[in-house]
Amino acid sequence: MKFLLLLAQHDTDFRAKELIAIAEMEKIELNLENYKEDSPFVEVDLPSEDEARRLVQRSFLTRGIYRILAQGSSMDEVHESNKKNLAVYDEFMNKSFKVEFNCYQGTRSKESQLTEINNLGYTNLNGRISLKNPEVRFVFLEDYDQYNPTPKYIWLATLVSSTARSVIDIYDLKKRKHVGTTSFEAELALVTTNMAQIRKGDIVYDPFSGTGSFPIAAAYHGAYVFASDIDRRPLRNYGLNFAQYNTSKNFLDSLEMDFTHDAFQSRLKFDAIICDPPYGIRERLVVCGAAKPERFIGKEHILVDNELSHRRRDYIATKKPVELSTILQNLLDFAATRLNVGRRLAFWLPVEDRDVETTKIPLHTDLEFKYVSVQKFSKWERWLLTYEKRPHGDKGPEIPISLTDDFREKYYTRYRGQK
Amino acid sequence: MKLLTTNFVQCAVKSCSSSSNCFPLHFTECELVHEDLEFDEDFIKNVMVKIDWPALLSVTRDIGNNSLPEEKPNIESCDEQVLRDLHLVLLETQIKDGKMICKNCDHLYHIKNTIPNFLLPPHLA
Ligand SMILES: C[S@@+](CC[C@H](N)C(=O)[O-])C[C@H]1O[C@@H](n2cnc3c(N)ncnc32)[C@H](O)[C@@H]1O
Ligand SMILES: [Zn+2]
């Protein structure tokens, strides 16, 4: 069966990969050879409407999937092709329906729309017209070149399924109770959960959770989440957000913890690890320990009110700066041993002056690199890297982390200097 | 911190990780709170497979709860009430304030306002 995918026309580098990730988890064979970066339309072949539905139901960057009835480079061609295929209308014959237009980079006047709708008379549809709640939605999808009044291509199709796009608005940071400077935009946090193939009942971990943007997104799918951060402050109101989205049961715990000295037992395996590691710009990039150890010699014996100071409830652990590459290497090593086989790590990285085509993506022998997607800003980029835990004994190549050491420095000399 | 979590955390000091004494931690002076949470049978069954029962018994005894049986219930054959009881113990019972001590190195960790603090002082990091 031929279907038409209608995609969002932004963050384009994430759209195909999101669909591929979903197709893999739903075991749907998906061929995206017709996919174009600069178009929201993709024709795909799928066995049935069931696969079509499962492909888009949890997609955040797809607007809808349509079953193609007729198509062509002009309205005449569409009607011509439609007339050759009238048998398909049998199943819609007595259903209530509605006809809509969806024009990309163009518009069609109300009068012209009505003409085309009336032109469909030959289909002999008997059902009642229902504008509010039709059983079948027929849609003319029209692809225009900008500033050209006539479309270059038209499909006539029925809507098979809407997508999870409406969820983005519900999770919008502007409406969220507990946010901070590090909160991650809802749309791409949700997309991250698809790259990581997070599903109901999974146990998911965000080791740099801050205000919880990723755990909250994972809970949307019904996953159960652990979160930790070296900074206690953002963790304090964590529960509020889960309560707001009715996912309180999915929030297991948030821990004040240095990821490089984590307390999780290695027998606890995660179904996904998703995060936005610290870059040292909006937040501190630190681990437990003393920057000047000589100053701390003997301090473990200090008594306050007859109590060793580091055992007191109000003790504040000293922290020292660390390289981002050390944190990232820790993250890959951790994922390699703590993920269940076949499950995923997805994390974000800020990058500057790098070409994704020529950059050596870091590799861990026990993790298969799946994809990198690039979000572009005017002066820098943010990459989302996705890996999958290999089966035991299956070893791949190793490439140490090298692509980020200088990001923080560059950022500071360049942008701070300008201010 | 939920009792579920106590079953998956050990002393964060690296040199303790090879010792069998670093888990479970010893809990003292704990103030408990109860939070009503929706019961999810599939999740409880799934998580029970992962639970180290003797470790859970050790922690529940530490906090003065002796309601759990000596033997780990067989979740495939038990009735729903048993699962609901486990839901109550593992997920709804939370430590609001308290102390956790490593039985290997004797380091003391605090739980403050339900958030456990596993940060280490310089001499242990
Ligand atoms: C980019 S922010 C992530 C923000 C998060 N996605 C949110 O929704 O707010 C990185 C976080 O890592 C934390 N962090 C820095 N060093 C850490 C460490 N060694 N272990 C754990 N967390 C750390 C910071 O406190 C910060 O909250
Ligand atoms: Zn210890």
Structure confidence by residue, pLDDT tens digits, A44-63: 999 999 999 999 999 999 99
Same domain, A91 and A189: no
Mean per-residue pLDDT, A273-279: 94
> Measured between CB atoms, which of A253, A289, A318 is closest to B5?
A253
Residue A408 has a pLDDT of: 61
Q: What is the CATH number of the domain that holds A187?
A: 3.40.50.150
For residue A106, pLDDT beyond 90? yes
Judge: B5–A252 Cβ closer than 8 Å, yes or no: yes
From B115's Cα to the closest Cα of chain A, the distance in A is 6
For residue A309, pLDDT beyond 90? yes
Secondary structure of residue A6 in the 3-state scheme: strand
Same domain, A178 and A148: no
Instruction: Give A-chain residues touching B12 at CB under 8 angstroms.
Output: 257-258, 261-263
Same domain, A68 and A129: yes
Structure confidence at residue A12 as a pLDDT band (50, 70, 90): very high
Residue A413 has a pLDDT of: 63
pLDDT tens, B51-70? 999 999 999 999 999 999 99
Q: Name every residue whose Cβ is closer than 8 Å to that of residue A349 and which is 6 or more positions away in sequence.
A: A277, A328, A382, A383, A384, A385, A403, A404
Residue A419 has a pLDDT of: 39
- Is A28 part of a structural domain of the chain? yes
CA–centroid distance, B105 to ligand 2, in Å, is 4
Q: What is the CATH number of the domain that holds A18?
A: 3.30.2130.30
**Contact status of B14 with chain A (Cβ, < 8 Å):** yes
Same domain, A153 and A189: no
Q: Centre a 10 Å sphere on the Cβ of residue A45 and count the other Cβ atoms it contains.
A: 12
Mean per-residue pLDDT, A321-327: 89
Same domain, A129 and A96: yes
Same domain, A273 and A352: yes
| ipTM of this predicted structure | 0.98
For B74, the token pair is: 């067989």
Q: Is A205 exposed, middle or buried (0-12, 13-18, 19+ CB in 10 A)?
A: buried
Same domain, A232 and A144: no
Same domain, A59 and A154: yes
Same domain, A210 and A353: yes
* DSSP strand pairing (A224-229 vs A203-206): parallel
CA–centroid distance, A227 to ligand 2, in Å, is 22
Instruction: For each of the domains in chain B, give its residue range(s) and CATH number, in order of start.
Output: 3-116 (2.20.25.10)
Range of the domain at A361: 167-285+322-415
Structurally, chain A folds into a number of domains equal to 2
Same domain, A153 and A180: no
- Is A307 part of a structural domain of the chain? no
- Is A291 part of a structural domain of the chain? no
Same domain, A147 and A194: no
CA–centroid distance, A396 to ligand 2, in Å, is 35
Residue A378 has a pLDDT of: 87
Mean per-residue pLDDT, A317-340: 94
Mean per-residue pLDDT, A316-334: 93
- Is A179 part of a structural domain of the chain? yes
pLDDT tens, A379-403? 889 999 999 999 999 999 999 887 6
**Contact status of A412 with chain B (Cβ, < 8 Å):** no
Is there an atom of ligand 1 within 6 Å of A388 CB?
no
> Measured between CB atoms, which of B35, B37, B120 is closest to A288?
B120
Q: Is the pTM higher than 0.90?
A: yes
> Measured between CB atoms, which of A224, A232, A253 is closest to B1?
A253
Is there an atom of ligand 1 within 6 Å of A278 CB?
yes
pLDDT tens, A169-198? 999 999 999 999 999 999 999 999 999 999
For residue A405, pLDDT beyond 70? no
Closest C-alpha residue for ligand 1 atom 13: A208
Mean per-residue pLDDT, A348-375: 90
